Chain A
Amino acid sequence: MASGKSEQTSQGRARNWIFGRRRHPGDRIFSRLTLVFALIIVGVLLGLLVVLNRDAMPAIRQFGLSFLTSSVWNPVKEIFGALPSIYGTLVTSAIALLIAVPISLGAAIFLAEVAPSWLRGPVSFFIEMLAAIPSVIIGLWGIFVLVPALVPVETWLSKHVGFLPIFKGTILSGLNVFSASIILTFMIIPIITAVSRDAIKAVPDTQREAMLALGATRWETIRRAVLPYCRSGLVGAIILGLGRALGETMAVTMVIGNADKLSAFLFSPGSSITSKLANNFGEASSDLFTASLIELALILFVITLLVNVIARVLVWRMTSVKTATE
């Protein structure tokens, strides 16, 4: 595989470069210095885990597992349960993935296999530009443009498909879980598209040629020879998108409605871990309140950590080492 080769040459270079004749003390000092700064990155990551864990401890001790299963959030009585926020985070991310994955994979196939070469650059650029728009601007747009536009859709759905519990209920406001999911969809399309496009591009041409030589159409080639070959890269891309969706804060906070209740009805206001943090952290009046919020942050951190580790491993196996972010 291409990645293995480039990895090897770079290793060879690194070995020559530092383990060669090391005469000058300046070299040793400089390489140590860069090492120290590189270790800061590792240190920050470990520090996140240690500090969040330390500061969440009062809440962890007080509530134990009931923090995850209780849906009471009462700052006055100092009882905190995170179930509605965790539920909101999972539901919005799941819906966003459900809608974003087909669109992103379609766009990735278009960019890697279908589009004429003059079109690929500009289209990639535009899709990646979507990722560069600050989340707070997407939230602003969500409040004033998307949410009003979604209300008729939601009314129609609850009238005609209302036999499903997720669509059954009275719509009080456009600021609800469904709107947040749609906003999230927009926000994760760019990353899933970009990473899966790279995965598809990394498939060797011999795969395609062999299939085409058998008389397959292009779609048959893509479906049977290309996509199976880069399956782990595609799954990695989707999981990377999931990580993004779980941690997205501003846009979600602005349109989710910020209500603390557990409801299967998608058109009712809800909350996510991130919206809970954004709304409450500044007002946390007691130590236990703050500790509970930090425990929420810790939960989010651990979930996204696992998700990202899995995604990175899958993507790394597939494509050669690319830039860290979009």
Chain B
Amino acid sequence: MSEHGYSRRKWSNRIVLILSGVAAGLAIMVLVLILGYTLVRGASALNVDFFIHGSTPVGVVGGGMRNEIIGTLILVALGSLLALPVGLLAGIFLAEFAGPRVAASVRFAADILSGVPSIVVGVFTYAIVVRPMLSYSAFAAGVALAIIMIPVVARTAEESLRLVPNSMREAALALGITRWRAVLSVIVPGALTGIVTGIMLAVARIAGETAPLLFTALGSFWGFRGLFRPVGALPLQIYNYALSPYSDWQRQAWAAAFLLMMLVLGISILVRWLSNRRRI
């Protein structure tokens, strides 16, 4: 190292540090390119018809994604409904009740589950729900989305509960209430912002998931016709329309992308705002 001249070392230092900035800039540039194009192109593709009409048959110009918008809302609600009890209680278990060894294995399982490709979750749900029930269904899609959501909710709930200081636990117990009451009425409210943040992140993630819907929700020309019938969803329709040769369908794909993007961005910004506020 001492062989090198001082100015040479200084220059290589400067160059590498600048390169690291360039790398960060590149990553941001990719985001700006995708985001900017989607927002500009999508905003110009939106119109009132998009929100109030269903899809049209092949070749008929016009129509919208009313059914898919409703479908996505239903699927997200269904996924959350199935995932929240499991995720939250598992989070409470990990943070408050688990012995170290059990906690480590459950935590590990949650982390691994969150890394399972979403299409594999789709195939799995097909095998355990769609095949036995002999029908694609909104319910099956809800199960698939819930499986994706559970580990995220569980781990973020656990993290937030851990941030609640031990003195709160001691204070609650000192008042003579039982442990389960202490958890539900003192500890959980104390961690609520963090828990809600985690839930919102999970919702943002499943709202845009497409792969697990392919063989569960399947998509539908009609609107929502019940839990045990196929249903359409925005991401599915983006996929179908993006690959179609019709320019009007491609336009609608961009409009749907705009809508999804706003949802995801809105949630990300809200989450950031919430967690900044928590720090202060």
Shortest distance between the CB of A268 and any CB in chain B (Å): 19
Contact between A282 and B214 (Cβ–Cβ < 8 Å)? yes
Q: Which of B35, B127, B152, B159 lies in contact with A294, CB distance below 8 A?
A: B127
Bound: A104/B166 CA distance, A? 38
Bound: A10/B110 CA distance, A? 18
Shortest distance between the CB of A275 and any CB in chain B (Å): 9
Tell me whether A52 and B123 are in contact in the complex, defined as CB-CB below 8 angstroms, given that A140-B257, A217-B10, A308-B111 are known contacts. Answer: yes
Is the CB of A262 closer than 8 A to any CB of chain B?
A: no
- B residues in contact with A34, CB < 8 Å: 89-90, 92-93, 96-97
Residues of A contacting B: mostly: helix
Bound: A47/B121 CA distance, A? 11
Which residues of B104-160 are within 8 A (CB) of A? 105-121, 123-124, 126-128, 147, 150-152, 154-156, 159
Is the CB of A156 closer than 8 A to any CB of chain B?
A: no
Chain A: CB-nearest residue to B94: A38
Category for how many chain B residues contact A: 35 or more
Which residues of B65-97 are within 8 A (CB) of A? 85-86, 89-90, 92-94, 96-97
Chain B: CB-nearest residue to A9: B166
Bound: A140/B113 CA distance, A? 27
Contact with B along A108-127 (1 / 0, CB 8 A): 01110111000000010111
Tell me whether A304 and B20 are in contact in the complex, defined as CB-CB below 8 angstroms, given that A17-B96, A24-B179 are known contacts. Answer: no
Bound: A18/B128 CA distance, A? 36
- A residues in contact with B238, CB < 8 Å: 136-137, 140
Shortest distance between the CB of B154 and any CB in chain A (Å): 6
Contact between B162 and A10 (Cβ–Cβ < 8 Å)? yes
Bound: A133/B211 CA distance, A? 14
Shortest distance between the CB of B152 and any CB in chain A (Å): 6
Shortest distance between the CB of B96 and any CB in chain A (Å): 6
Interface residues of A (CB under 8 A from B): 7, 10-11, 13-15, 17-18, 24, 26-27, 29-31, 33-35, 37-42, 44-45, 47-48, 51-52, 55, 102-107, 109-111, 113-115, 123, 125-127, 129-130, 132-141, 143-145, 186, 189-190, 193, 216-220, 240, 243-244, 246-250, 254, 274, 277-278, 281-282, 293-294, 297, 300-301, 304-305, 308-309, 311-312, 321-325
- 18 sample A-B contacts, Cβ–Cβ < 8 Å, listed by A number: A14-B98, A41-B110, A44-B147, A103-B26, A106-B19, A109-B23, A132-B204, A137-B38, A141-B34, A243-B115, A247-B116, A274-B119, A282-B215, A282-B218, A294-B127, A300-B120, A308-B115, A325-B201
Nearest first, the 3 A-B pairs at minimum CB distance are A247-B117, A134-B208, A106-B23
Interface residues of B (CB under 8 A from A): 1, 9-10, 12-13, 16-17, 19-24, 26-28, 30-31, 33-35, 37-38, 85-86, 89-90, 92-94, 96-100, 102-103, 105-121, 123-124, 126-128, 147, 150-152, 154-156, 159, 162, 166, 169, 178-181, 183, 198, 201, 204-205, 207-211, 214-215, 218, 235, 238-239, 242-243, 250, 253-254, 257, 260-261, 264-265, 267-268, 272
